């Protein structure tokens, strides 16, 4: 029988030595890592050692497996995962309950303002358009679409009809009538407030704070706007026995604010509530306007006074100038009526 050459023996011994060194290093790594791995992995590793014919190592690293081998028919220490996923889900559902999902309450009470805003947009547009509501109100698509669905439930718009736009089934007036709330029957609800009486009482109280009622009226008219002053002058003329007193239209009045008659004479009156004295422009305007309205006399009536230029123009045109002093006289006369 041929002998193995010494060189070949050295190669075999070298391979065995390398194998033992590698195996030794692996064992060191396993010893370090082993305690941290899952129990199932430990059992699997022990099975590999048994398959390799190394029961001693299996007993060292996996003592629980070694005990089961010694005690036949002993139950497993580790419970492996069930193959029935539904059973596992049912088992762990009692431990891990998902947070309940709260659905938003959708209805006209929650989105009442949205519905009214969307309705006014589609009435302005003249057709139903979700994108139009989005652009006009800066809303998201879902918010605009939800408002349209609520309008459909109210009968204001028709149902979804594919690519065709929804039909607009109501006018703005009809929608407002339907949306108008019924008067409350609650006995604790407040009674109707008489706003006019409150304002009248307030004015009367302020008038009583003045020792001079004329000065009260002067202070009041100094804070009026043009339109309010015109109607105040009309009331003052009526209380001074002028008849057929009427206020002309607000625009294109041709320089005449009030038409009034007294003792058969028709007056064309321009009213100016200023914070400074008036020049000749109002005189020229009412002088022209009295001919347009076929009146006999033109008048400029103001809470202030007139400049010298205005007086010269009035003298040349025959226009009457009623300044603050004239108003005082007329206020006193009206208080006597």
Shared-domain flag, residues 206 and 331: yes
pLDDT at 295 over 60: yes
For residue 49, being part of any structural domain is answered with yes
State the DSSP string of 217-279.
Answer: HHHHHHT--HHHHHHHHHHHHHTTT-EEEEEPPSSS-TT--EEEEETTEEEEEEEE--SS-B-
Shared-domain flag, residues 227 and 314: yes
Shared-domain flag, residues 213 and 279: yes
For residue 99, being part of any structural domain is answered with no
pLDDT at 261 over 90: yes
Shared-domain flag, residues 220 and 260: yes
Shared-domain flag, residues 270 and 312: yes
Place of tokens 């947070």: 99
For residue 105, being part of any structural domain is answered with no
Reported as half-sphere exposure (CB side, CA atoms, 13 A), residue 43 has a value of 13
Place of tokens 């007086």: 311
Which of 75, 104, 133 represents a domain boundary (last residue)? 75
For residue 141, being part of any structural domain is answered with yes
What CATH code is carried by the domain that includes residue 313?
Answer: 3.40.1350.10
Shared-domain flag, residues 169 and 294: no
pLDDT in tens, 116-146: 888 888 888 888 888 888 888 888 888 888 8
Distances (CA, A) of 84 to 75, 98, 326: 20, 21, 106
pTM of the model: 0.41
For residue 92, being part of any structural domain is answered with no
Q: Is 232 helix (H, G, I), strand (E, B) or coil?
A: helix
Domain that holds residue 47: 37-75
For residue 120, being part of any structural domain is answered with yes
Which of 56, 75, 94 represents a domain boundary (last residue)? 75
What pLDDT, on the 0 to 100 scale, is given for residue 316?
94
Shared-domain flag, residues 237 and 328: yes
For residue 85, being part of any structural domain is answered with no
Output the CA angle 218-195-334, nearest 5 degrees: 30
Shared-domain flag, residues 211 and 326: yes
Shared-domain flag, residues 214 and 291: yes
| pLDDT over 70 percentage in the chain | 64
Shared-domain flag, residues 156 and 241: no
Q: 206-231: b or e for each residue (b if 16 or more CB lie within 10 Å)?
A: eeeeeeeeeebbbeebeeeeeeebbe
Q: pLDDT class for 335, splitting at 50, 70, 90?
A: confident
pLDDT at 184 over 70: no
pLDDT in tens, 197-211: 777 777 777 666 666
> Domains in the chain: how many in total?
3
Higher-confidence position of 175 and 181: 175
- Interval 61-82 mean pLDDT: 49
Q: pLDDT class for 165, splitting at 50, 70, 90?
A: confident
Shared-domain flag, residues 204 and 129: no
What pLDDT, on the 0 to 100 scale, is given for residue 48?
57
What CATH code is carried by the domain that includes residue 138?
Answer: 1.10.10.10
What pLDDT, on the 0 to 100 scale, is given for residue 101?
47
- Interval 252-278 mean pLDDT: 91
Which of 151, 179, 207 represents a domain boundary (last residue)? 179
Q: At what angle do helices 281-292 and 308-317 cross, to 10 degrees?
A: 20
Shared-domain flag, residues 53 and 133: no
For residue 100, being part of any structural domain is answered with no
């Amino acid at each position: 029988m041929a002998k193995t050459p010494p060189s070949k023996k050295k190669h075999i011994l070298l391979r065995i030595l390398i194998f033992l060194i590698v195996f030794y290093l692996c064992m060191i790594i396993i010893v370090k890592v082993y305690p941290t791995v899952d129990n199932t992995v430990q059992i699997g590793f022990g099975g590999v050692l048994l398959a390799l014919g190394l029961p001693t190592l299996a007993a060292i690293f996996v003592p629980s497996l070694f005990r089961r081998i010694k005690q036949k028919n002993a139950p497993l220490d580790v419970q492996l995962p069930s193959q029935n996923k539904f059973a596992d889900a049912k088992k762990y559902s009692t431990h891990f309950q998902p947070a309940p999902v709260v659905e938003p309450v959708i209805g006209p009470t929650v989105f009442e303002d949205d519905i009214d805003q969307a309705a006014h947009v589609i009435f302005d547009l003249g057709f139903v358009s979700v994108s139009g509501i989005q652009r006009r109100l800066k809303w998201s698509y879902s918010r605009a679409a939800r408002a349209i669905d609520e309008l459909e439930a109210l009968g204001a718009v028709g149902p979804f009809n594919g690519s065709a736009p929804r039909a607009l089934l109501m006018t703005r007036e009809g929608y407002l009538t339907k949306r108008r709330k019924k008067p409350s029957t609650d006995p604790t609800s407040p009674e109707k407030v008489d706003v006019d009486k409150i304002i009248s009482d307030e004015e009367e109280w302020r008038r009583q704070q003045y020792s001079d009622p004329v000065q009260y009226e002067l202070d009041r008219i100094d804070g009026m706007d043009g339109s309010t002053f015109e109607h105040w002058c009309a009331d003052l003329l009526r209380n001074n026995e002028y008849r057929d007193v009427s206020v002309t239209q607000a625009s294109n009045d041709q320089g005449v604010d009030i038409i009034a008659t007294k003792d058969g004479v028709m007056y064309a009156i321009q009213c100016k509530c200023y914070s400074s004295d008036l020049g000749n422009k109002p005189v020229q305007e009412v002088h022209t306007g009295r001919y347009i309205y076929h009146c006999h006399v033109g008048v400029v009536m103001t809470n202030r006074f007139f400049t010298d230029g205005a007086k010269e123009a009035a003298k040349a045109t025959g226009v009457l100038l009623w300044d603050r002093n004239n108003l005082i006289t007329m206020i006193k006369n009206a208080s006597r009526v």
